[in-house]
Amino acid sequence: MTLTAATRNKAESLRDQIRHHNYRYHALDDPEIPDAEYDRLMRELQKLEQDFPELVSSDSPTQRVGDVPISAFGTVRHELPMLSLGNVFDEEELQEFHRRVLARLELGTDTELAYAAEPKLDGAAVSLLYEDGVLVRGATRGDGSNGEDITHNVRTIESIPLRLLGAGFPTRLEVRGEVFMPKADFEAYNDKARSAGEKTFVNPRNAAAGSLRQLDPKLTAARPLDMYAYSVGIVEGGSLPSMHSQIIDQLGEWGIKVCPERRVVSGVNACFEFYRSIGERRDDLSYEIDGVVYKVDSLKLQRELGFVSRAPRWAVAHKFPAHEELTVVEEIEFQVGRTGAVTPVARLKPVFVGGVTVSNATLHNIDELHRKDVRVGDSVIVRRAGDVIPEVASVIVNRRPKGTRRVQLPKNCPVCNSRVTREEGETAARCTGGLFCAAQRTEALKHFVSRRALDIEGLGAKLIEQLVAGDRLKTPADIFQLTKDELRELDRMGERSAEKLIQSVEASKTTTLPRFLFALGIREVGEATSASVASHYGRLANVLAATEEDLQTVADVGPVVAARVKAFFSEEHNLDVITRLQDYGVEWPESAPMARPADGPLAGKTFVITGTLPTLTRDEAKDLIQSLGGKVTGSVSGKTDYLIAGEKAGSKLATAEKLNISVLDELGLRSLISD
Ligand code: IVH
């Protein structure tokens, strides 16, 4: 094949389109086309570049992730040093900063100076050098004068354009900003690492900084990183606007992502107002911030003000209360949850962090406790961000007192003394006491009465604990036998509250099937699954009668959940509780089971899906098959008619082949349907 001008133009046009859609998606968060269409453009370009390797350029959107890891980081000397910021912690210090600025500029004390106010992002500072609009180098801040060359890694961050959009940019332009890991991605990353028994990140800042310092760009590419630009460094061969805020807007127009929470404010009171309003929304922002920054907006005035040591006189950071504080572990205890999970908890010397006083912090599970090696007496960093439960982020090992000991998982439940076991492949250790264990019973009852379950108002945690301790509550059914007279005898219970509680117990009897199923507290069966099971079967009797295989035909129910549900309803004592609940008048409307098309093209056929299909997710494939009357189960057996196998199909494929079951790929499934 010869490379024609038309092909060359085609490739360039595809690149332009992809760059434009990258910008819409990443910088504006406002995509114009569906992901599938974007993928199609990308595949088309990849194909062209494969056929004509001479078409590949380093700023092509296909060239984000390099193939080979680098062996060491090179050093980048910052032509203009990357400075730090002075801090203020309260309104008084902010007023002081403002007075100094006005005095230096010889302006009257009542001048309403314009400040650009922006969040102070909590990630890792980076410098991005664009030459003729093409990203040629990425560097860390380092000590401000010398950073590390991380070009191979910044290229993998999809919101960083490899080439600027539009025109009019200086021939050399250094963009500076903060690379960060969004909070939700950070939590998800840590949850996943924790259940895989791997090391977690202490906070989103370390996650960002650590991810940027990888020698292998593939590792960085797999981390969910993002970036906001907040200033410029080198500007040569062109000019920028005369106000900081306008420069940031201009960067945005060239396709660089900038923080949307920026404002130009006038005077110090407006600065403080900005601080308060961002502070109120701090927990709702998708990224971590540790304060706000005010910058004198006029570059002319910035130049007049200049620098002192390594910080500008024209800007200051106004810090929020810290999300991390230092304290001491006084005790490590093990708590038993509703499903018996035995969780280590650190009892701390109380410390004010993230806006509240914290005296307990989770250690998640025994592996995590061992990995961090937290011991009684240790100085630790506690972290509490947003509504996430406080956790011990790290140990200051060199402050460890003498004579501390590694903490071991107790062999017996600290509450009921039953054996504690750990199932193969599970991170949680569990008390084997079941509902014999007062802790599990208490938690199960708290769950049963909670707002999204039976919603019994007035039956709070303390009350349940008292009733369990007094042996008045053994199962949820006992709740419906409580009398006003016995309630009146309890601590902090007057005549009126006893009466009100009896009323809300009475009111809770009329419920719905999804709520009832959820209230039972079956492991792995949350609200969504309960709703799905309820609408599939319509009535409780049908749920009880369902086989494990049939349960797997419910949307979102896989083999693990099906097994849990079946196991729960196979226990005599669980069925007893359900019967008693119904005897005492707990009721809900029942309906007919969901109609299953009995005459669809796939009626009577049983399918198993495995591996990754090219266009459908497994749930989509399942929905498709079910909508045509087919049945989808989770494991291959003699009753399976077809195995739908995608990429990375494992043992199910081998079993199907052994059993001589027809194996189809997604295309095969589609042609089966269209027959
Ligand atoms: S301006 C000359 N703006 O804070 C001023 N910095 O202590 C240079 N940071 O290392 C910084 N958000 O990584 C600026 N909106 C923002 C910022 C910000 C976070 C970080 C930056 C720098 C540190 C300064």
The pLDDT of residue 66: 82
Task: Give the position of tokens 């194996």.
Answer: 663
* Confidence check: pLDDT of 292 > 70: yes
If you measure from the C-alpha of residue 85 to the centroid of ligand 1, how many angstroms do you get, rounded to a whole number? 7
Q: Quick check: 226 and 82 in contact, CB under 8 A?
A: no
CA distances from 106 to 100, 304, 429 (A): 10, 11, 67
**Residue 500 annotated among the catalytic residues of the structure:** no
Residue nearest to atom 16 of ligand 1 (CA): 120
Lowest-confidence region among 113-117, 256-260, 309-313: 309-313
The pLDDT of residue 76: 95
If you measure from the C-alpha of residue 280 to the centroid of ligand 1, how many angstroms do you get, rounded to a whole number? 21
If you measure from the C-alpha of residue 84 to the centroid of ligand 1, how many angstroms do you get, rounded to a whole number? 6
Lowest-confidence region among 182-191, 338-347, 421-430, 517-526: 421-430
The pLDDT of residue 435: 81
Instruction: Identify the band that residue 541 occupies on the pLDDT scale cut at 50, 70 and 90.
Output: very high
Q: What tens digit of pLDDT does each residue of 101-158 get?
A: 999 999 999 999 999 999 999 999 999 999 999 999 999 999 899 999 999 999 999 9
Q: What tens digit of pLDDT does each residue of 195-205 get?
A: 888 888 989 99
Q: Quick check: 164 and 154 in contact, CB under 8 A?
A: no
Lowest-confidence region among 64-73, 312-321, 445-454, 535-544: 64-73
Amino acid sitting at position 432: T
* Confidence check: pLDDT of 645 > 80: yes
Q: Quick check: 366 and 344 in contact, CB under 8 A?
A: yes
* 534 backbone dihedrals φ, ψ, rounded to 5°: -60, -45
- The arithmetic mean of pLDDT across residues 570-595, rounded, is 91
Q: Which of 87, 97, 143, 178 to mutate to test the pocket of ligand 1 (most atoms within 8 A of CB)?
A: 178
Which CB contacts under 8 angstroms, 24+ apart, belong to 297-303? Answer: 297/114, 297/115, 297/116, 297/243, 297/244, 297/245, 297/264, 298/114, 298/242, 298/243, 298/244, 299/242, 299/243, 299/244, 299/247, 300/242, 301/105, 301/113, 302/244
Q: What is the 3-state secondary structure (H, E, C) of 543-572?
A: HHHCCHHHHCCCCCCCHHHHHHHHHHHHCH
Instruction: Identify the band that residue 475 occupies on the pLDDT scale cut at 50, 70 and 90.
Output: very high
Catalytic residue, from 120, 183, 446, 631: name it.
120
* 656 backbone dihedrals φ, ψ, rounded to 5°: -60, -40
User: What CATH class is the domain 434-583?
Assistant: mainly alpha
The pair of structure tokens assigned to 158 is 């999809």
If you measure from the C-alpha of residue 92 to the centroid of ligand 1, how many angstroms do you get, rounded to a whole number? 22
Q: What CATH code would you report for 324-421?
A: 2.40.50.140
According to DSSP, the β-strands at 124-131 and 114-121 are: unpaired
The pair of structure tokens assigned to 118 is 């922006």
Instruction: Identify the band that residue 255 occupies on the pLDDT scale cut at 50, 70 and 90.
Output: very high
Amino acid sitting at position 575: L
The chain-wide mean pLDDT, for the chain, equals 92
- The arithmetic mean of pLDDT across residues 220-229, rounded, is 95
* Confidence check: pLDDT of 518 > 80: yes
Q: Quick check: 160 and 22 in contact, CB under 8 A?
A: no
Q: Considering the entire predicted model, what is its pTM?
A: 0.72
The greatest distance separating any two alpha carbons of the chain, rounded to the nearest whole angstrom, comes to 94
Q: Which of 83, 88, 118, 120 to mutate to test the pocket of ligand 1 (most atoms within 8 A of CB)?
A: 120
Q: Name every protein residue with a CB atom under 6 angstroms from any ligand 1 atom.
A: 83-85, 118, 120-121, 125, 141, 178, 230-231, 293, 312, 315, 317
Q: Quick check: 561 and 551 in contact, CB under 8 A?
A: yes
Ligand 1 nearest-atom number relative to CA 119: 15
Q: Quick check: 464 and 449 in contact, CB under 8 A?
A: yes
According to DSSP, the β-strands at 114-121 and 289-296 are: antiparallel
According to DSSP, the β-strands at 341-353 and 429-431 are: antiparallel
If you measure from the C-alpha of residue 300 to the centroid of ligand 1, how many angstroms do you get, rounded to a whole number? 20
The pLDDT of residue 233: 96
The pair of structure tokens assigned to 643 is 């195995």
User: What is the C-alpha R_g of the chain?
Assistant: 31
The CATH homologous superfamily to which domain 5-63 belongs is Helix hairpin bin (1.10.287.610)
Instruction: Identify the band that residue 637 occupies on the pLDDT scale cut at 50, 70 and 90.
Output: confident
Residue nearest to atom 3 of ligand 1 (CA): 230
Q: Quick check: 76 and 147 in contact, CB under 8 A?
A: yes
* Confidence check: pLDDT of 675 > 70: no
- The arithmetic mean of pLDDT across residues 598-606, rounded, is 83
Lowest-confidence region among 328-332, 541-545, 557-561: 557-561
The pair of structure tokens assigned to 96 is 């002081």
Q: Quick check: 228 and 121 in contact, CB under 8 A?
A: yes
% of the chain beyond a pLDDT of 90: 73
Q: Between helices 267-281 and 91-104, what is the axis angle to 10°?
A: 140
The pLDDT of residue 615: 87
Ligand 1 nearest-atom number relative to CA 124: 13
If you measure from the C-alpha of residue 448 to the centroid of ligand 1, how many angstroms do you get, rounded to a whole number? 49
Which comes out higher in pLDDT, residue 211 or 436?
211
Ligand 1 nearest-atom number relative to CA 120: 12
* Confidence check: pLDDT of 1 > 80: no
How far apart, in whole angstroms, are the C-alpha atoms of residue 66 and residue 62? 10
Residue nearest to atom 21 of ligand 1 (CA): 125
Residue nearest to atom 2 of ligand 1 (CA): 83
> By C-alpha distance, which of 323, 322, 303 is closest to 312?
303
Task: Give the position of tokens 């299909």.
Answer: 613
Which comes out higher in pLDDT, residue 627 or 417?
417
* 358 backbone dihedrals φ, ψ, rounded to 5°: -110, 130
User: What CATH class is the domain 600-674?
Assistant: alpha beta
Domain boundaries, the chain: 5-63, 86-319, 324-421, 434-583, 600-674
How far apart, in whole angstroms, are the C-alpha atoms of residue 333 and residue 335? 7
Instruction: Identify the band that residue 388 occupies on the pLDDT scale cut at 50, 70 and 90.
Output: confident
Q: Which of 97, 121, 175, 226 to mutate to test the pocket of ligand 1 (most atoms within 8 A of CB)?
A: 121
Instruction: Identify the band that residue 167 occupies on the pLDDT scale cut at 50, 70 and 90.
Output: very high
How far apart, in whole angstroms, are the C-alpha atoms of residue 669 and residue 91? 66
How far apart, in whole angstroms, are the C-alpha atoms of residue 380 and residue 375? 9
Q: Which fold has domain 86-319?
A: D-amino Acid Aminotransferase; Chain A, domain 1 (3.30.470)
If you measure from the C-alpha of residue 425 to the centroid of ligand 1, how many angstroms do you get, rounded to a whole number? 43
How far apart, in whole angstroms, are the C-alpha atoms of residue 561 and residue 548? 9
What are the residues facing 326 on neighbouring strands? 381
Ligand 1 nearest-atom number relative to CA 177: 13
The pLDDT of residue 121: 96
Residue nearest to atom 12 of ligand 1 (CA): 120
How far apart, in whole angstroms, are the C-alpha atoms of residue 590 and residue 582? 13
